[in-house]
A and B are shown apart, each in its own frame.
Chain A
Amino acid sequence: MSEEEITYETEMTADDVGATEHVPETVTQKSLTADCLRLIQRPGWLWWVVFLFDLAILAVAMVAERNQIVQGIGVAGHTRPVMWASYVTNFVFWVGIAHCGTLVSAILFLFRSHFRRAVYRVAEAMTVFGVMTAGLFPIIHLGRPWFAYWLFPYPHQRQLWPNFRSPLEWDVFAVSTYLTVSTIFFLVGIIPDAAAQRDHGANRFYRLIGHIFSFGWTGANHQWKHFYGAYLYFAAFATPLVLSVHSVVSWDFAMAQVPGWHSTIFAPYFVAGAIFSGVALVINLLIPIRSVFKLEHIVTVDHIEKLSKLVLLTSMIVTYSYLVEIFSAWYGPSSNERDMFMWRFFGHFWWAGWTMATCNSLIPLLLWSKKVRRNLPLLFVICLFVNVGMWFERFVIIVSSLARPFDPAPWGVNYKMSWTEGAILAGSFAWFFMFFLIFIRVLPAFSLAEIKETLRAPMRRKA
C-alpha cells in the first residue's frame, strides 16, 4: 500500500475513543488508567481510620480464639444436641459470600455479559477473601485445631485415609479446590493490570508491587493469545465448580436424616442463596468505593442496577425454595418434618425464622421498582438486610434443626451464642475486610484491560 492511498484525519474524534456500551464517552484509555491507579495511590485518611478500626476488632477476635484454644471448645455456646452452631453458620455464610465473585467473573464471562467488566475484580477479590474466611471456621470449630491437616489425604505409616464417602470430606475437597481455583483466576486476571501499575504507578513501592504481580507482562500478541486461551478455560472450570461447591456444602446437611435438612432441593436452594448474599455484598462494597474514590463514571448506576436485578432474581428463587420446603413438609408423610417447620416459625427461634423471611423474601420485593434499584443509599440498606437475612437463614437451618431432633428428651435445651462466638463472628468480618482494604490499596480494584475493551478501539478510518 503506498502512502497516497491513506487518507489521514488529523485528530481523533470523541466517537473514536469514546465508549458505547457501559462506560461514559468521556472515559479514555489514559483517563481510565489514571483513575484506577489513583484509587491505589491515594487512599486518604478515611482508609486508615477504617483499617485501624478493622484491626482492633480482629485483635479482640484473636484474643477470643486464643481463649477458646486454651480453655477448650466449651467456651463456645454449643450444648448437646446443638453441636454445630454459629461457627458452621459462619462457614456456610462466608462460602456463600464467596460465590458471587465466580458468578460475575466466570459465568457472566461465558455469557458475554459485558457489564461484568466494571465490577468483576471487586467481586473476585471478595470471592478469594470470602473463601479464606470460610476456611477458618471448620478449623476454629475443631477441638484441637492444630490437627486440621488430618482432614487432607496423605500417605502415612498407619495407612489411614479420610472417609471419602463422607460429605464432610467432600467439603474439604470442594472448598480447597475453590480457594485454589478462585485465587488463580483472580491473580491471572490481574496480570495485565499489574503491568499498567508497574509502568504508571506513582512511586517505587507501587511499581514494585506491579512488577511482582505482572510476571513481566508486556502485552505482546502471543501473551494475549495464550492469556485469553487460558482465561476461557478458567471460566469454564470455575462455572461448574461454583455450582458444585455450595451443592457439596448443602449436602453436609441434606445427607443427614435430620428433619429440616434431608431434602433434595438443598443443592439448588443453597447455590441460589449463595449468589443472593454474594451479589448483595458486592453492591455493599461497590457503592462506598465508587463514591469515596469518585469512580461514578466507571462503576455507573446502570452497573449497580444490573447487579440489583440479580439480587431480585435470586431472592425469588430463595423464596420459592422456602415455599417448596414448607409445602413438602405439609404435603409429605413425615410428622417430624411438619413439626420442624412449625417450630422454625413459631418455636423458640421464631425471631430468627421471621428475620430470615423478612430480609430475604419481603424486603427485596422493593427491587421490583426501578426507582428503588437506582436509589443507591436505599439499595445499600436493602443489601445489608439481605446479608443479615442470609446469615439468619443458615442459623435457622443449622440450629433449629439440631435443637429439635427425633428424640424429644433434649427439646428444651436451646442454644445461646457465647461472647467468644460473637467476637469470632465480628472478627470474621474484620479478617475479610482487612484483606479487602489491603487489596484496594496495593492492586487495581477495577480491571483496566477489560474496561478498555469496552471502549471503542481507536480507528483512523471509521468502519
Chain B
Amino acid sequence: MIQKLVDRLLAPAPQKHAGVMGIFEYVDDAAAAVRALRQVGHKDLSVYSPVPHHDLEHALEQGPSLVRWVTFGGATLGLTGGFSLCIYSVISYPLVVGGKELISLPPFVVIGYESMILLGALANLMGMLALARLPQVKSKAPYDPRFSLDKIGIWVPCTGDDAARVEKMLRGQGAEEVKVHV
C-alpha cells in the first residue's frame, strides 16, 4: 500500500509537451542559443539550470522579480497591524496606571517592528511561491534530472517545420543533445 503510494508520488508526469529541448554543457553556448532563438521570434523560452547564470538572465532580458511589491504590502500590513493591535487592546480594556497615557507608543514599537518582519517574510514567501508557480505538480516542459546536476536545458515550444528549424539551430549553437517532442 505504502509502496504503491510512493511509486505514484515518484512517477513522472505524463508527456504531453510539444516542442524542442536542447541540452547544453556550456553556459556561453546556451546564452548564445537563447539570443539567437529570441531573435527569430521564440520569446516563450524556458531555460533550466542547476544554478542561475547572469549570462542567461541577460540573454533572456529578465527584469527584476515583482515579489518585492508583495513583500512591501505584507510588511506595511504587519507594521500597522502590530501597532493597531496594541492600541486596540489598551482602549478596549483600559487600565490606567499612575495617570499615565494608555497609548504609549515607545513600547509598542517592538510589537509593530516584529509584526512587520513576520508579515513581510510571510508575504515574501507567498509572493515567491505564487510567482514561481510553486508547488509545481505539472512541468510545462519535459524535465531532465541532469538540470539539477550540471546541464542547462532550453525548451522551445513549437511544432512541425518550426521544430525542425529550432532543432537545427540548437545543434548549431553547440547543444550536446536535442530532443524533439511532438
Contact = CB atoms under 8 A, between A and B. Distances in A.
Interface string A191-217: 110011011100011011001000111
Main SS of chain A's interface residues? Answer: helix
Contacts of A459: 26-28
A215 B174 contact: no
B134 interface: yes
Given A161-B93, A177-B118, A233 B111 contact: no
A177 B36 CA distance: 47
Interface residues of B, number: 75
A234 B75 CA distance: 12
A71 interface: no
A169 B114 CA distance: 12
Contacts of B50: 29, 192, 196, 219, 448-449, 452
Interface residues of A, number: 73
B49 A219 contact: yes
Contacts of B41: none
B51 A453 contact: yes
A461 interface: yes
B46 to A, nearest CB: 5
A396 B9 CA distance: 54
Contact of A457 (B27, B66, B134, B141): B27
B52 A224 contact: yes
Interface string A392-419: 0000000000000000000000000000
A199 B145 contact: yes
Given A164-B108, A221-B46, A234 B57 contact: no
Interface in A181-198: 181, 184-185, 188, 191-192, 195-196, 198
A208 B148 contact: no
B164 interface: no
A225 B118 contact: no
Contacts of A30: 149-150
Of the candidates B48, B121, B122, B149, the one having the most CB atoms from chain A within 10 angstroms of its own CB is B121
A370 interface: no
Contact of B65 (A160, A184, A228, A457): A228
Contacts, number: 217
B95 to A, nearest CB: 9
Nearest to B82: A173
B128 interface: yes
A371 interface: no
Given A6-B174, A170-B111, A200-B148, A222 B118 contact: no
Contacts of A228: 52, 65
Nearest to B138: A216
Contacts of B9: 208, 211
Contact of A458 (B27, B68, B75, B104): B27
A70 B79 CA distance: 41
Interface string A6-47: 101000100000000000000011100100000000000000
Contacts of A234: 121, 124
Interface string B90-118: 10110000000000100110110111011
Nearest to B130: A226
B2 to A, nearest CB: 10
Given A161-B92, A223-B132, A218 B28 contact: no
11 contacts: A3-B172, A6-B173, A30-B149, A153-B85, A164-B89, A180-B118, A184-B122, A184-B125, A200-B145, A215-B129, A223-B134
Interface of A: 1-3, 6, 8, 12, 28-30, 33, 153, 159-162, 164-165, 169-170, 173-174, 176-177, 180-181, 184-185, 188, 191-192, 195-196, 198-200, 204-205, 207-208, 211, 215-230, 233-234, 237-238, 240-241, 244, 248, 448-449, 452-453, 457-461
Given A184-B125, A221-B57, A229-B66, 19 more contacts: A2-B172, A6-B173, A29-B150, A33-B149, A173-B115, A205-B6, A215-B129, A217-B136, A218-B147, A220-B141, A221-B56, A221-B62, A225-B52, A241-B114, A248-B110, A449-B51, A457-B51, A460-B29, A460-B174
